[in-house]
Structure 1
Amino acid sequence: MFRKLPGDEARNLVSTTPDTAVVFRPAVVRTPAIVTLVIWLSRLVAGLIRLVVRHPVAVAVPVAFGVIWTLYGWRLALVMAGFLPSAGLSWLLLDRASFLRLVGWPLLAFARWFWVYRRHWQPVMVVTGLGRHIRGHDYLPSLVGVECDGWADRVSVKMLNGQAVTDWADRIEHLAHGFGAPSCRVAIARAGRLVLTFPRRDPLAEPLPARPVPEVASVGPVEIGRCEDGTPLRLKVHGTHVLIAGATGAGKGSYLWSTIRGLLPAMRAGLVQVWALDPKRMELSFGRALFGARYAADPKECADLLDEAVSVMQKRADRFAGLQRSHTPTPGDPFVLVLVDEVAFLTAYQPDKHLRQRITAALATLTTQGRAVGVGIMAALQDPRKEVMNIRNLFPDKIALRLDESEQVDMVLGDGARDRGALADHISPVPELGAGVGYVRLETSPDPVRVRAAYVSDADISSMVAEFAGVGR
């Protein structure tokens, strides 16, 4: 029949009869009720403290209402309940920014924490495999807190011991759909802590008009558009090299012309020279008068212009040796920005092998030695494969616009960029929605940032030429 076996002896039991039932009943330890009560109360108090610390505004409103009800009666409480919305509306109309910062976004963060993330946390973690169910217990990453702003939720998470960032980066699409967001990005806050960014809307859905021409001559950073968080996109061009990759119609010209537009006053002041290589003869030729004699379209002319840039770089290096380690733009030694549109035609598709070798050697020399002496490269291309552009790793700052394949994202921005949320292959091909939208990965930060460059129209370029023609002579 049935036997009770203590401990682990059940696993050593060998039965010769197939109908023998083995019942294993572990030993039961009875916990005193006072211990259970103390544990429950301590968890309740800790949870209340965490709630107050993380959501002070959401807690303060009902607590204040309850205190007024208790001390002064329900009539005054109802009056205050009617007064608070009107006071909040007046505050919102008078100073929208401070109201949202102090009241609006904290209340929204509490609502999103309670109704979206806390409510769905356990099933999402278990289904995505980020949580573990071991011997009847669920081990889940901790939902530390939620912060909101005008476009996204930022969810702070404490990982389980033994988890890695790649465990989360590999599941960004699962997390996005699990919490009802269009996408998800993963960033490291500190050891063991992550910040998951879930956009609620797309602040870059509308095309941006051309930025105003700066009033003060400066070599940068140049404002060329807007970041996803609403801050201006300022691109550093002096002291670095920039690679822009994107499919046809992705908006590479917006980055080139916005950069030129931001440097026009410095060009007039003699602090910047823009040298333009335009093998397609379509993009940069529209503003050819801005570049003067430093414009080339024929492949041989492009090679000659690059060789001239190398010569300028080497002469400066000889003069600066032992005297200075960085470049300060002056009219005598201006910052030289070499713009190369469709660089792949010059480095891979050019039928003349000798020209290909000259151009590739010149670009490699400039990207490895030009920064310190004030010679920078901004190159644009469609195909980021290594056999097309084998010196792409020599560009510290990279921009990925709409790309055809997911593998190309890491080719441009570096390994792991797509796993961190740089979904350049998901950018809309519709010009009004996706032209100029891309992801920037700077030398100073491994996390890609979603941005959109302003659109510089033909009329804008014509006005630039009319006002600044001849500054590049």
Structure 2
Amino acid sequence: MFKKMPGDEAQHLVSTTPDTAVVFRPAVVRTPAFVTLVIFAWRFLAGLVRLLWRHPIASAVVAVPCVVAWLYGWRMSLVLIAAAVTVLALWCSVHRPSFLRLVGWRLLAFWRFVWVYRRHWQAVMVVSGLGRHLRGRDYLPHLVRVRCTSWADVVTVKMLHGQAVKDWADRIDHLAHGFEARSCRVSIARAGRLVLVFPRHDPLVTPLPAMPIPDEVSVGPVMVGAREDGSPWLLNVHGTHVLVAGATGAGKGSVIWSTIRGLLPAVRVGLVQIWALDPKRMELSFGRTLFGDRYAATPEQCADLLDAAVAVMQERADRFAGQQRSHTPTVEDPFVLVVVDEVAFLTAYQSDRALKQRISAALASLTTQGRAVGVGVMAALQDPRKDVLTIRNLFPDKIALRLDESEQVDMVLGDGARDRGALADHISPIPQQGAGVGYVRLEASPDPIRVRAAYVSDADIRAMAEAVAA
């Protein structure tokens, strides 16, 4: 009923000589030379078209001088090369950004594709365990594209069938060292394809001065620093809650004061109110005049201020019920931002159990019901463990500054954040290099973003307080 395949007869063979194994050699089907030549020609043409499509600038740099030399001689080719170099040098000196965008980064991408990634691709894939060797063949993920930016190489990869993102996220250290980069980050481009980001240098190594106070009145998003790609870091505080976690000296004050600085024009006209809880009595006390009577330092005062914020929230909820589903800041109903510095002292390390439960209940009410009525919470803490802050998951937007342990990264940013490249435990403890540097995970995206908050000095804070008082 079934066709007998070559080799099925081997089980019926009997050797009459002891100690002599039956050797079976399968039938070999020889491929005609014409078919082999057609296959190689097709692969060559497909690779050539792919090269021209993905790297047109680099291909033209190599092909045009060769064609000119073949048609008109090598002297004309040298003249053409000299003229092209002169024009490109003038272009680069006159308008460097357009030169880099249209020519520079593309040439660098081609060089990195050939000399770094294609050259070491097979070795890195096999040694790291991302490639497979089956039945004498190497199955490797496909290197699709390399794109260069001002600070990193963006590599697009097509995974093997059956691979998962976690297989790559677990090997970011292998990939980084294999391609001579400081780190590696993994994100999903689409089904079956990944984007690997290999930084070439750190654009956030230099501290940022305080951001200028905005001219326009707005409740956000506010500019609090810069992202790794050079774009401004805009933090949204209206309609969300923000958790800032970091060790001592990590720069939590930079995030808090940069946020307040960005909201200052709205505070002046009465569209925003900052309610400050400062149990440490050190960080927020510099700008106490900014908060007026909405400043609390002792645990009892903090509990009373939180209860007042809950009362405002509930009163607005009663008025807004059936009328509106989102909050628009007005002078009558301003956006209320409750800033809590060292929230762990109030929720975990407070000796008065009744007071601790009262504070935890108020914070839980604000983080679960305050967004729709214009009451937001920005909380900062050092220890992100669940028993320290039980409402940790009620903060949609999270910021992880320098942390002491690798496990704390996932506690703050969510499971798998460190595997995707959020190495908050590797941030430098030197203030000039690492203060204010962190990773942000927004509610709309699971991929961490590396940022640095601007440093707001004591003189800047005093100037802000004097400007509001005036």
* TM-score bucket (shorter structure): over 0.9
Per the TM alignment, residue 196 of structure 1 is displaced from its structure 2 partner at its CA by: 0.4
Alignment correspondent of 1:330: 330
Partner of 1:207: 207
User: Which amino acid in structure 2 is aligned with residue 239 of structure 1?
Assistant: G
Q: Which amino acid aligns with 1:330?
A: T
CA drift at 1:8: 5.7
User: Which residue type is aligned with residue 244 of structure 2?
Assistant: I
Does the Cα contact within 8 Å between 2:274 and 2:336 map onto a contact in 1?
yes
Name the residue aligned to 1:312.
Answer: 312
**2:78 is the counterpart of 1:59:** no
Which residue is 2:39 aligned to? 39
Q: Secondary structure at the match of 1:28?
A: coil
Q: State the AA in 1 paired with 2:169.
A: A
Tell me the equivalent position of 1:236.
236
Within 1, Cα distance between the matches of 2:17 and 2:414?
Answer: 63
8 Å CA contact retained: 2:15, 2:21 = no
**CA distance in 1 between partners of 2:315 and 2:341 (Å):** 26
- What's the secondary structure of 1:138's corresponding residue? strand
SS class of match (2:263) = helix
Match of 2:179 in 1: 179
Structure 2 counterpart of 1:363: 363
Structure 2 CA distance for aligned equivalents of residues 177 and 10 of structure 1: 50
Show the counterpart of 1:190.
190
Secondary structure, in 3 states, of the residue corresponding to 1:194?
A: strand
Instruction: Report SS of the residue matched to 2:181.
Output: coil
CA shift, 1:76, in A, is 2.0
Question: Which position in structure 2 is the counterpart of 1:346?
Answer: 346
Q: Which amino acid aligns with 1:169?
A: A
Residue 445 (structure 2) pairs with residue 445 (structure 1): yes
Task: Measure how far apart 1:78 and its partner are.
Answer: 1.1
Residue 11 of structure 1: how far off its partner (Å): 7.5
Q: Which secondary structure state, in structure 1, belongs to the residue aligned with residue 248 of structure 2?
A: coil
Q: Distance in 2 between matches of 1:9 and 1:450?
A: 64
CA 1:102 to 1:8, structure 2 compared with 1: closer, same or farther past 3 Å?
Answer: farther
1:374 aligns with 2:374: yes
Task: Report what 1:127 is aligned to.
Answer: 127
Partner residue of 1:280?
A: 280
Provide the rounded CA distance (Å) in 1 between the counterparts of 2:255 and 2:366. Answer: 21
CA displacement at 1:467 relative to structure 2 = 1.7
Which letter maps to 1:56?
P
CA distance in 2, matches of 1:394, 1:115: 47
Indicate the SS of the match to 1:373. Answer: coil
**Deviation above 6 Å: which 4+ runs of structure 1?**
11-18
Deviation digits for residues 408-446 of structure 1 (CA, Å, limit 9, x no counterpart): 111100111111110111111111111101000000111
User: Against the structure 1 CA distance between its residues 383 and 225, is the aligned structure 2 distance closer, same or farther, given a 3 Å change threshold?
Assistant: same
1:14: how far off?
Answer: 8.3
SS class of match (1:103):
helix
For residues 447 and 346 of structure 1, the distance between their equivalents in structure 2, rounded to whole angstroms, comes to 31
Q: Deviations over 1:224-264 (max 9, x none)?
A: 00000110000000000000001111110000000011111
Q: Aligned-residue CA RMSD in angstroms?
A: 1.6
2:421 equivalent to 1:421: yes
**Alpha carbons of structure 1 residues 134 and 16: separation in structure 2 relative to 1, 3 Å:** farther
Matches within 5 A, 1:386-465: 386-465=386-465
Cα distance in 1 between the residues matched to 2:16 and 2:275: 90
Q: Specify the code of the residue in structure 1 equivalent to 2:166.
A: T
Matches of 2:179 and 2:240, distance apart in 1 = 39
Residue 161 (structure 1) shift: 0.7
SS of 2:387 mapped into structure 1: coil
Q: Which moved more, 1:17-26 or 1:38-47?
A: 17-26
Task: Give, in angstroms, the shift of residue 71 of structure 1.
Answer: 3.4
Unaligned runs of 5+ in 1: 1-5
Secondary structure at the residue paired with 1:282?
Answer: coil
Alpha-carbon offset, residue 66 of structure 1: 2.3
* Amino acid corresponding to residue 419 of structure 1 in structure 2: D
TM-score by length of 1: 0.96
Paired residues of 2:313 and 2:370 also in contact (CA < 8 A): yes
Query: 2:237 is aligned with what amino acid?
Result: V
Question: Letter of the aligned partner of 1:183 in structure 2?
Answer: S
Q: Quote how far apart the aligned CAs of 1:21 are.
A: 5.3
Residue matched to 1:466: 466
Change (3 A) 1:49 1:165: same
Change (3 A) 1:310 1:59: same
Identity %: 75
Aligned CA distance change for structure 1 residues 11 and 111 (closer, same or farther; 3 Å): farther
What does the per-residue CA deviation read over 1:361-400, in whole Å, with 9 as the maximum and x for residues that have no partner?
A: 0000000000011000000000000000000100000000
Match of 2:116 in 1: 116
Report the Cα distance in structure 1 between the residues aligned to 2:459 and 2:317, rounded to whole angstroms: 40
* 8 Å contact from structure 2 (residues 141, 157) kept in 1: yes
The one-letter amino acid of 2:28's match is V
Flag structure 2 segments of 5+ consecutive residues without an equivalent: 1-5
Report the 3-state secondary structure (helix = DSSP H, G, I; strand = E; otherwise coil) of the residue aligned with 2:377: strand
Distance 1:241 1:446 in 2: 16
